[in-house]
Amino acid sequence: MLLTIDTNDPRPIYQQVADGIKELIARGKLAEGASLPPVRQLAADLGVNLNTIATAYRALQEDGLIVVKHGSGSVVAQRTNTERTHDELVRPLRTALTELVLAGLSSSKILNLVVRELNIVGKESK
């Protein structure tokens, strides 16, 4: 299972790592209880500062997506109903939709895009 980091992506590396792992969990490619590589392994493979990967793992832990067990590594956490508020969940969706509207896409195109992406994520997570 591979995670891709793009140097042309404006997001910082830790964000790309966290988002990449999130996406794999959402698609069901990283199942509950699956072990994640140690921080040192990912940092060495990518050739980045240890703190970069540690920050990504911390962000995932704060989101409740992984459990960091000291000494035995990190595992994908059990999926529970999110504790985040409706507003917190809608905010990133609104930001993404705003980006698409500003990019000049029509409402129907945006809707098609959202449905297609949801199908990809939904299908793979089943």
Site residues for another protein per CB under 8 A? 1-8, 13, 17, 21, 24, 30, 35-51, 73
Q: Smaller CB distance to another protein: residue 73 or 110?
A: 73
Minimal distance, residue 92 CB to another protein, in Å: 23
Place of tokens 């994520």: 121
Q: Which tokens in the block code for residue 79?
A: 């999926």
Q: Smaller CB distance to another protein: residue 49 or 98?
A: 49
What's 51's DSSP letter?
A: H
67 alpha-carbon distance from chain centroid: 15
Task: Tell which residue, 38, 108, 27, has the closest CA to residue 69.
Answer: 38
Minimal distance, residue 40 CB to another protein, in Å: 5
Task: Tell which residue, 2, 38, 6, 40, has the closest CA to residue 21.
Answer: 2
Minimal distance, residue 100 CB to another protein, in Å: 23
Q: Smaller CB distance to another protein: residue 6 or 87?
A: 6
